[in-house]
Amino acid sequence: MAYEGGAKNEDIKYPAVLTNEKLEAIYVGLLLINPKGISMFYLEYEEARFSVPWMLDIYKLVLFREGQQYASEAAKRNYSFPKITEKTETYMDTCKKYAIESGYTIEQAYYEIRKLFLLKMGYANAPTKTIQKKVTDIKKYARYNEMGIDEIINSLNQISFTSSIRESVLNEDVTEFLLEGDNNLKTGIPTPFPIMTKTFKGFRKAETVSFAMPSNAGKSRFVINLVAYLAYVEKKKVLLISNEMTEDKMKLCLITTIINSPYIQKLHNQDLHKREAELLALKFRPDKDKEVELDEQGFILKKEDETSEEFIKRLSEFSSEFNKTIAATEWLSSQKESSIFFVHTSDHTNDELRNIILDYYYKEGIEYIFYDTLKTDIEHIGDGDEVKKTATVLSTLAQSFGLFIGSTLQLLDNATTPLNMSINDIQSSRTVKEVLDNLCLIKQINSTTYDEYEYSEEEDSLDYKDLEPPETLNTKYYACVVDKNRAGSKPKLLFKLDLDYNTWIEKGYVRHKQSAEDDI
């Protein structure tokens, strides 16, 4: 039950191991018998975690009536006057009876009750169930009875420290670990790219991955593609934090993605192929049997004196393409259970970034986070090594709370060829790699060098193929070098993409063309 005494505004249900009403009654009873004891053996307001309201009221009677002349201002601070009922005298007699029968001294009862109440306070303030369990486990320590108040406080502080690390006995439950197949080394949610999923064993909780690309190469669009897949195919709530693209730009990119991505088209059942610029300008083609005035590109023309509402009404009458688009966006708006939460912040510290992530973790239960782009916070602009500190904050959060955190990094726009990329091509600190679990370096293959590369759908295949000529001028090939992978292999992958539609297709494994002698 929630009431005054450190738990005023919370409905906290303490576990049985932290509840001892008889000990509370003994402590209060001893104070009633000898009110002078309140001068030394009092409980500060935040520590008073009595199990039932009437016990707290009797304690306050000692403060403000029986032991008023002995209670200091510090002892009374923040307490209100007690509620007295017709049962109060009976309760007081019961407490005195328990106190006399117990054989406790006031000092003994005080230290035992304060130890217990400190654990209750630690339990109430614990941010996770895991930490709450660690608090209750203190009561089960082999030498709990030998612990004093200082040792209890030290143990609680140690739990706060070790909440960022994992403790276990390695030889416990090893058979179940091996056979159940549901441990963090095996399981992760798929990505839209089968080979990448196989390489990293999916996006796994308690891990971080970063995708590094040059400026203006499509980092944010790549992230949106991943986020949309996680949210709408895998049905996960996702948090996207951006210090680059604004909400409007991200929203338009998301619409473009869900309209054109084959794996999401299957969900909203609309067969479409629309460029982002066309969507933004409301450029739609009419149905073949409809006669309507068109612009030079064949899109329905908006009349000079026509309002937006009138134009939209005409689009709905003449264009199935428009109606399919609206059906897709209405479907997108209806996906409440797998939402993409977005935070745009251009100025923030590492502490603020941490608080944003934890706020959504607690508030919305979000366990999949993307940060676009990983760079120095506002206090350390220009200091490349500070990127490692931000990455460390993200890594610590991922491990402490079982989160998956993806991010983007900036690659140097230099002359390094795509398959020769390394950590030295990262624009910021090279040491950031040390704290990441996984790192991909992604760069466009120059169209004039397509004939120097070949790819295969299978890693060990002898059948490598030439890169197909692009369908349009906007179709590009990107190489993805897996530079770090805690799950194992570090392949080099080929993607074909069109940023106008935000479509990314994983083609396979890529390499420089091999001569006949190389294959022997």
Q: What are the tens digits of pLDDT across the range 384-399?
A: 678 898 999 999 999 9
C-alpha distances (whole Å) from 36 to each of 28, 82, 116, 126, 224 are 12, 19, 23, 35, 68
Count other C-beta atoms under 10 Å from residue 80's C-beta: 10
SS3 readout for 264-333: HHHHHCCCCCCCHHHHHCCCCCCCCCCCCCECCCCCECCCCCCCHHHHHHHHHHHCHHHHHHHHHHHHHH
Interatomic CA distance for residues 94 and 29, integer angstroms: 8
pLDDT at 3: 36
Count other C-beta atoms under 10 Å from residue 184's C-beta: 12
Range picked from 63-67, 133-137, 511-515 for highest mean pLDDT: 63-67
The closest of 385, 386, 403, 387 to 395, measured between CA atoms, is: 403
Q: What are the tens digits of pLDDT across the range 257-272?
A: 999 999 999 999 999 9
Interatomic CA distance for residues 228 and 224, integer angstroms: 6
pTM: 0.69
Q: Which long-range contacts (CB under 8 A, 24 or more apart) does 284-293 make?
A: 284/315, 284/319, 284/321, 284/322, 284/325, 285/319, 285/321, 286/318, 286/319, 287/318, 287/319, 287/320, 290/317, 290/318, 290/319, 292/318
Q: What are the tens digits of pLDDT across the range 402-416?
A: 999 999 999 999 999
pLDDT of 163 strictly over 70: no
> Residue 441 half-sphere exposure, CB side, CA atoms within 13 Å?
24
pLDDT at 283: 96
pLDDT at 5: 45
Q: What are the tens digits of pLDDT across the range 303-354?
A: 999 999 999 999 999 999 999 999 999 999 999 888 899 999 877 788 889 8
pLDDT of 1 strictly over 50: no
Q: How confident is the model at residue 359 (pLDDT cuts 50, 70, 90)?
A: confident
Q: What are the tens digits of pLDDT across the range 63-118?
A: 999 999 999 999 999 999 999 999 999 999 999 999 999 999 999 999 999 999 99
Phi/psi for 365 (5° steps) reads 70, 25
Q: What are the tens digits of pLDDT across the range 413-463?
A: 999 999 999 999 987 767 899 999 999 999 999 999 999 999 999 988 889
Query: pLDDT averaged over the chain?
Result: 89
Q: How confident is the model at residue 516 (pLDDT cuts 50, 70, 90)?
A: low
Residues 484 and 439 sit within 8 Å (Cβ to Cβ): yes
Interatomic CA distance for residues 123 and 506, integer angstroms: 48
